[in-house]
Chains A and B, each alone.
Chain A
Amino acid sequence: MTETPLATDTLSVTYTGDREIEAVKGVSIAFPANELTTIIGPSGCGKSTLLKSLNRLHEIQQNVEIDGDVLLSGDSVYNTDEPAPEIRRQIGYVPQTPTALPLSIYENVAYGLRIHDEYESKADLDEKVETYLRKVNLWDEVNDRLDAPGAELSTGQIQRLCVARSLAVEPEVLLCDEVTSALDPISAESVEETLEELKSEYTIVMVTHAMAQARRLADKVVFLYLGEVVEAGDVRSFFENPQAERTRQFIGGPTPVDPEPTEESTDERESSTGAELAASPPPEES
């Protein structure tokens, strides 16, 4: 059994706005090392909330309450004196919508290294930027225009830039929030290829509602419904031999009855690509 770098311990997240909504309800899961775990479930089931609570990113919103804990290599993420930015450095996050920082391509990757002071000289920084751009297969496409604004790249390239930027601070875990849902199929494929290559080196947790994508990429699948884990397991057994009735319904047929909308559902966008992928027949397993 491999060591679990990241795990949740009866983690609950409650939005305490005008209407109190418990978006994640007492979830306990372990994310195995150097594997890609996908969290799947219908829109508004708490996937993104769960993901963001793993590195305390939801704390930037107001009116969020947390119960339970997240353990990073056995250490508490919530009951600690360590400042939240340090936690987030160790647990990287790639947002759903590709977002270049208002900087050059080079500076986008260098940003994290600069704020954490993780380079020795300009040459060292150059080298690191190149390394991580290569890691996401972007170097060959951009090496002649590193000073160009990051925002001028295509969305697929920006998303890979985001992955490179997150990897540059050398996190132990990488969280990906529906990273391909805003992309066209070809860009989505290139991002998927990148993740496929990265998963041997990193512990990756990815939220998706594209079932086919989960099948293609994941080693482990967690099925979340109305904030609760319905089923979690190996990708093969999950899809071929689901235990829970609800899982069978979800992966087999149309999405089950719409769950209660949560605050989170406002920022979850159902893109055509995501829906397309979800609807397409699962590819042959190799």
Chain B
Amino acid sequence: MDRYRKQRLFGAAVRAAALLVVGVMLLVVSVTLVRGGRVLLTDPTIVVTPPGSRYMLEGTGGFLHAVLGSAFIVGPATAISMVFAVSTATYLQSDYSSERFSESVNMFLNVLWGTPPIVYGVFVLTIIIAVGAQTSLLFGIVAIAIFQYPIMTRYTDEALRAAPDRVRESTYGLGATRFESARMTVRAAAPGIIAGLIMGFARGIGDAATVLFTTGRSTRMPGGLLDAATTLPVLIFDQAMSFNPEVRSHAYAASFVLTVVVLGLILVSKLLAGRYARYTP
């Protein structure tokens, strides 16, 4: 076969593969958006209405409890995870630890990243049983934070590694301490770190397995940190199995909310990263 035909053939194959993937993705998203959107257009208040007493059976009321559950679990979890992730990643840079040590830690983090989230769920459940506690919002936060930690740490580590060494050298040259220098490196790596933050949040808010048996799958409004709660993905899971079409339709509405939130976050992260990127050498 002549070289140019080979090239054309390869080009066509690549385009077809891309088209297939994008097509499937569009289908998934648009089915969710159209179906969910239709439900929400008919009654947008279901997002901000607490569930009725027979919500899971008859679909009375709305799913505010899951929206709040998601926000109150994933928000704090992301914040906690971020603090640990940035600290760990900073520690893994050459100023503090040796190359060999960071390599092994990074490998371990990659394994954790690849661990199925249900495993974290089981792990936290074991803790709940061991301490004799009950499933609650608090343990949901713990489970999600553990789940997000390796993702965010790897993102942050890569971002810090990609930040120019010259920034570090410049700050030291001005008489900065290790801490001051690390802070400046974090700033220089801000676009990548923000990407990691949003990625962690998006993964956290979309995960059902970790919270499935750590938060309690409650069908009432969460009252406090030690109260049972639920999140949007778990709600979708529960509703989608319902025999009542009304309840099933809520699953689409919830999916719509979830998709839009994640999409919005990614846009925000792009904007933020772009702002910081102007400052990056």
Contact = CB atoms under 8 A, between A and B. Distances in A.
A152 B281 CA distance: 8
Interface in A87-115: 87-90, 92-95, 97, 99-104, 111-112, 115
Contact of A101 (B94, B171, B177): B171
B109 interface: no
Nearest to B187: A102
Chain A CB count within 10 A is highest, among B98, B172, B190, for: B172
Given A60-B95, A102-B281, A152-B278, A115 B180 contact: yes
Interface in A137-161: 149-152, 158
Given A99-B170, A102-B167, A115 B175 contact: yes
B184 A99 contact: no
Contacts of A86: 175
A99 B166 contact: yes
A256 interface: no
A57 B172 contact: yes
Given A62-B98, A102-B279, A95 B175 contact: no
Contacts of B202: none
A87 B280 CA distance: 28
Interface in B79-117: 94-95, 98-99
Contacts of A165: 170, 174
B280 to A, nearest CB: 5
Contacts of B169: 57, 60, 93, 95, 99
Interface in B158-193: 164, 166-177, 180, 184, 187-188, 190
Interface string B42-61: 00000000000000000000
B189 to A, nearest CB: 9
A149 B275 CA distance: 10
A34 interface: no
Contacts of A151: 278-281
Contact of B175 (A89, A99, A101, A152): A89
B171 to A, nearest CB: 7
A271 B136 CA distance: 62
Interface residues of A, number: 36
A60 B165 CA distance: 11
A85 B176 contact: yes
Chain B CB count within 10 A is highest, among A85, A94, A97, A166, for: A85
Contacts of B95: 60
Given A62-B94, A102-B187, A111 B279 contact: no
A149 B175 contact: no
26 contacts: A57-B173, A60-B168, A62-B98, A62-B99, A85-B176, A86-B175, A87-B175, A93-B174, A94-B173, A99-B169, A99-B170, A101-B170, A101-B171, A101-B184, A101-B187, A112-B174, A112-B175, A115-B175, A115-B177, A115-B180, A116-B175, A151-B279, A162-B170, A165-B174, A166-B174, A169-B175
Interface of A: 55, 57, 60-62, 83, 85-90, 92-95, 97, 99-104, 111-112, 115-116, 149-152, 158, 162, 165-166, 169
Interface of B: 94-95, 98-99, 164, 166-177, 180, 184, 187-188, 190, 276, 278-281
